[in-house]
């Protein structure tokens, strides 16, 4: 069967990572969470004192880019692939509120995007990959055979994210999470380089209206149609 590239884009906390990961597992593809890469760069900036008062020292971070190595370990017994920053497992740290609130300004920096996009394109060289993010179907893989744009309301996404964070024992309120999601939506859709937008040839998946199982069926149907064309 022919191998393709599956690009899944959408707003933050739209459930796209869960879907992308599960789809990859079902079809035997490699899964790459591109958001985790922007998060790892953000963690590096925080740990190296390059952030203060919600701002990022762009110059210092750009100068440090050659020092930043990001890799993924294959999914372990927990079924989750872990992100490594310079050889250290940072899967938990990159999901915390501090990283979440600084990742959008980091992802706006053109040099950061250029470097991460190049790495993402290398991951896709032999196809057989599912990658999720904001600009995968538009910038990273404009020729991807299957493109999906996941749509979901900010309120529904905040409810989902809050539940996830509370399950991990994090101390946050619904208002804080909703506020963070709205801010990120604003930055993600209005930034100058590769803003989040639906590619003209992307299929829209309405995440508010479908159950998880319906979404998986929808994705598998689309995938089967495309690979059998």
What residues make contact with ligand DC under the rule CB under 6 A?
12, 34-35, 38-39, 103-104, 107, 133-136, 184, 188
Nearer to ligand DC among residue 119 and residue 210 (C-beta): 119
Nearer to ligand DC among residue 176 and residue 227 (C-beta): 176
Token pair 């100068």 is at which residue? 63
Nearer to ligand DC among residue 34 and residue 215 (C-beta): 34
Question: 159: closest CA among 180, 134, 178?
Answer: 178
Residue ranges of alpha helices (H) inside 88-145 are 97-107, 110-123
Closest distance of CB 36 from ligand DC, Å:
6
Closest distance of CB 105 from ligand DC, Å:
9
Closest distance of CB 212 from ligand DC, Å:
18
- The Cβ of residue 152 has, within 10 Å, a number of other Cβ atoms equal to 20
Nearer to ligand DC among residue 144 and residue 224 (C-beta): 144
Helices 154-167, 174-190: crossing angle, 10 deg rounding: 120
- The Cβ of residue 121 has, within 10 Å, a number of other Cβ atoms equal to 13
CB 15 within 8 A of CB 150: yes
Closest distance of CB 113 from ligand DC, Å:
7
């Amino acid at each position: 069967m022919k191998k393709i590239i599956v690009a899944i884009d959408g707003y933050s906390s739209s459930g796209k990572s869960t879907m992308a990961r599960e789809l990859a597992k079902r079809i035997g593809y490699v899964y790459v969470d591109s958001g985790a890469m922007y998060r790892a760069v953000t963690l590096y900036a925080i740990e190296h004192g390059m952030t203060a008062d919600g701002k990022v020292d762009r110059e210092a971070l750009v100068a440090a880019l050659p020092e930043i190595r990001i890799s993924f370990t294959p999914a372990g017994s927990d079924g989750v692939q872990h992100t490594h920053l310079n050889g250290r497992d940072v899967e938990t740290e990159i999901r915390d509120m501090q990283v979440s609130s600084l990742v959008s300004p980091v992802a706006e920096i053109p040099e950061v995007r250029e470097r991460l996009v190049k790495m993402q394109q290398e991951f896709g060289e032999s196809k057989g990959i599912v990658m999720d993010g904001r600009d995968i179907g538009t910038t990273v893989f404009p020729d991807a055979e299957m493109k999906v744009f996941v749509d979901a309301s900010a309120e529904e996404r905040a409810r989902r994210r809050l539940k996830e964070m509370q399950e991990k024992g994090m101390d946050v309120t619904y208002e804080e999470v909703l506020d963070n999601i709205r801010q990120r939506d604003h930055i993600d859709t209005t930034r100058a380089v590769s803003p989040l937008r639906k590619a003209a040839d992307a299929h829209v998946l309405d995440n508010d209206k479908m159950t998880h199982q319906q979404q998986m069926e929808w994705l598998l149907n689309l995938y089967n149609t495309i690979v059998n064309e």
